[in-house]
Chain A
């Protein structure tokens, strides 16, 4: 079982719609959870982090964490063509981050 798994995608959504990304993790002791966005040929950039159960909102982005289910998600509201990228879920272990394989999102104009 992979440490961090994401829905495989690709995910195609129309402009203005909500994009929903899911991630599950295997280490129940994980404490910190991150969503990174990576444009093609570029390095990842942090868009959200969440430590506590529940929702965390930042602009058009909402991260949701459920530690009991070992599940973290990212919602992108009012999707824009500039949101087209690969989104990486990362989970913090004792001393390093483990990344999911990423979900590629395409926002259709």
Chain B
């Protein structure tokens, strides 16, 4: 199946710093990628839809100035958590759709803000 690679898999940062997470589609072009956040024992919550060459679409309640999304090419989307705080600690997952609506997920990034 299609492969989506996410990096890093785990990151620990100090409160107030920024963290960048990369999501790459390795063997297909993805005009749209999705960013999710998952807190322990909860389901995936869509944060934003990343569109190549245009602004991301954020879900209600997600601060676009805090979670910066850049989709500069057909194979790469990045999520930057700016001025991270402990409450931003979570599991962040990206996905891309191949063809129809079947989603392929990256490996996820475990962010811990200390």
Contacts and interface: CB of A to CB of B under 8 A. Distances in A.
Interface of A: 31-32, 34, 41-46, 49, 88, 90, 92, 95-102
A46 B49 contact: no
B61 interface: no
Contacts of A42: 107-108
Contact of B101 (A32, A41, A102): A32
Is chain B's binding surface mostly helix, strand, loop or mixed? strand
A97 to B, nearest CB: 6
Contacts, number: 46
A27 to B, nearest CB: 13
B104 to A, nearest CB: 7
Contacts of A34: 102-103
Interface in B90-114: 91, 93, 95, 100-108, 110
